[in-house]
Structure formats: structure tokens, C-alpha cells
Amino acid sequence: MTPATGDKGQGDELMSDATKRFPLMATRLMPEAVEARFRDEFDARPNEEDTPLDRKLLIERAEGCHGIVGSPTERFDAETIALLPESVEILATFSVGCDHIDLEAAKARGLVVCNTPDVLTDATADTTILCLLGAARMAQSAEAVLRRGEWGRWSPRGMLGTDMTGKRLGIVGMGRIGQGVARRAQGFGMEVMYHNRRERPPEEAEGATFHADAAEMLPQCDFLALTCPLTDETHHWLNAERIALLPDGAVVANTARGPVVDDDALIPALESGRVAAAGLDVFTGEPKLDERYLKLENAFLLPHIGSATIETRNAMGFRCLDNMKAHAEGTDYPSRVA
Ligand code: DGY
């Protein structure tokens, strides 16, 4: 596929002296168009080998840098943040999720942290629908039959999934991505509900019904989409107790973070058919995952590709660079979280 250069972000117009004098390291190789702007516009320290950096390497490479473009493949925990060279003023993560960063430790050290909201909403909402639909129609195991050369004659009973049309969808986490899922689900003729810390104003609820109490919503969810951030409160949110509240044969999708699901609860529920199918784009311990999932025909599995389109990854990278440019030039950050 040809890399689309697309919009280059706000920093498109002029290279400034301030950014040219700004030593900026990136922990991973970014999409071509982003990498080109990074090297053009900044005093760039790329990671040519694209190796994930452990704490030691990260600290070594950050020496003398003012900024780090990081990603969810590194952990910026309190200890790492405390060890960062004094020169480092800002961390821009190539993600909307910040669960790999100790934001309190960053604030305490005076480290500015920026992320990439908005630009990945549509791609990730699309992936959530892909997970719901892929699971409901058992797309992966059906395709595997074909690839193994085992496709027999068409049969009225063959490879039966379940419709999304006319079903009830519950969304856990009604942020931008949850709202995107609600909009799309209505196109499938679904009735949409959501559970969120706070009720959304009508213009952000997308016609979905709010449930302050998840225990009230879950028994009505033929489909359940997890789109919430990973926090202490959402860790293992989908546990055995909540699975027991779902109707028999519900379909679950997780495009949030792996640990939002308790694998020891979901896997037996998939094995027994109590949960009919699951579409999972994220896993605890990525890139490893609980191998029991690989044996389940009713698990539709993707390797964390929620935001993985050229357009979206370019926009995420440009957002990181725009945040860096704002820092170097002393203007407003497009998206600062700490
Ligand atoms: C995000 O932006 O948080 C995506 O999940 C990529 O990690």
C-alpha cells in the first residue's frame, strides 16, 4: 500500500528554528510521512532498529533530549520517570491510552505529557464493530476452514452465527470511541445502551440509553462492547460476576485494553458457550496472550490494530509532533494530559 502523506498536522507550514534546535527522540519508527516530518523539522533522534526499549536503553537514549515520542510498548512508570535525564521536558505518547504512563509521577516531576485523542476515534470504532461482527459471524474460524481446504458443500446448517440487526448493544465507556461505536451500531439497527461514570449530554449520547448501574444494563446486553480506558476501577471489569449477568449467548468485544477483561472468567464462559463469542483486539501481557484463546473457535482475535490505518497512524504521529512543536515554541498544546 502506498503511504498516504495526507494532512501533515498543524506544523505543516514552516520549520521553525525552535523545533530545529529541539533534540527529540522517538522510541519507535513511525509511519513514513511522520518520520519524514520528524527528521525534517526537529533535531531528530530516531530509533532506526525499531526495537522496543527497556528502561535502561530508554534512559541512555534520552540523554540530552528535550522530548520523547513514546508509545504503549514502553512503560513510563514512576521509577522510569524519576530516572529520566533532567533534559527531558515532555513526553508525547503515540496513543490515546495513557495507562503505560504514571501521570501522577509525571506531574510531580514537571514532565509534560501529551496524547493523541480524536484522530483515532473512527478507526478504533470501526475495529470495535469489526470485533462484534467478526465474533458474531465467527468470521475467523469460517475463514480458517476455507484456508485449510475443508470447505465442504454449502449447508443450511453450516457456520451459523448470530445477527446484530435488532439486537441490544451495551457500551462500557462512552468516550469518543464509545460514541463512535454507538453511531455505527445504530446503522446496524441495534438498540444501544451505555454505562459510563457520568451521563453524557444528549448531543454526546448518540441516542443511547444511560445506565448508571452496570448490573442493570448487563442482563439486557445481547452484545457488549468494552471501550473504556484502563484504570484501577476498570481493571478486570468484565469478571465472572458481571459475565453471569449477561444473557445466555451474548457476544463481547474488547478494543479497550486487555486487562479490562479477566481472562480466567471469559475463557471458561467461551468454552461453555455461556458467552457465544468474543472479538478481542487487546490482551493482557501483549504481545503474548493467554494461549487458551487460540484454541477457541468462537474467539475472533486481532493483534491490537484498533488504530492501524495509514491515515490514522499518520494523524497520530503528526499530533505527537504538533504537541512537541507547541512545547518548543511555547504555544498551546493540541492535547495535553499532564
Ligand atoms: C491507543 O491509542 O491507545 C491505541 O490503543 C494504540 O495503543
Per-residue pLDDT of the chain (338 residues; tens, 9 = 90+): 434 445 666 654 556 799 999 999 999 999 999 999 999 999 999 999 998 799 999 999 999 999 999 999 999 999 999 999 999 999 999 999 999 999 999 999 999 999 999 999 999 999 999 999 999 999 999 999 999 999 999 999 999 999 999 999 999 999 999 999 999 999 999 999 999 999 999 999 999 999 999 999 999 999 999 999 999 999 999 999 999 999 999 999 999 999 999 999 999 999 999 999 999 999 999 999 999 999 999 999 999 999 999 999 999 999 999 999 999 999 999 999 99
Our answer to whether residue 286 is catalytic in this structure is yes
Which residue, by CA, sits nearest to atom 4 of ligand 1?
95
What is the residue with the minimal CA distance to atom 3 of ligand 1? 97
97 lines ligand 1 (CB under 6 A): yes
Given 45, 168, 176, 304, the catalytic residue? 304
- The whole-number pLDDT of residue 7 equals 63
How high is the pLDDT of residue 51? 86
Ligand 1 pocket test target in 95, 122, 280 with most atoms within 8 Å of CB = 95
| Residue 287, all three cell numbers | 504481545
Q: How crowded is the C-beta side of 315, counted as CA atoms within 13 Å?
A: 18
The Cα–Cα gap between 241 and 253 comes to 17
pLDDT at 5: 45
CB-hemisphere CA count at 13 Å for 233? 6
In ligand 1, the atom with minimum distance to the C-alpha of 120 is 2
Nearest CA to ligand 1 atom 1: 95
Residue 97 Cα to ligand 1 midpoint, Å, equals 5
Neighbours of 193 (CB within 10 A): 22
Identify the pLDDT of residue 8.
Answer: 67
Neighbour-count burial of 189, counting CB atoms closer than 10 A to its CB (0-12 exposed, 13-18 middle, 19+ buried): exposed
Cα 285 to chain center, whole Å?
A: 14
The pLDDT score that the predictor gives to residue 4 is 46
Is 327 one of the catalytic residues?
Answer: no
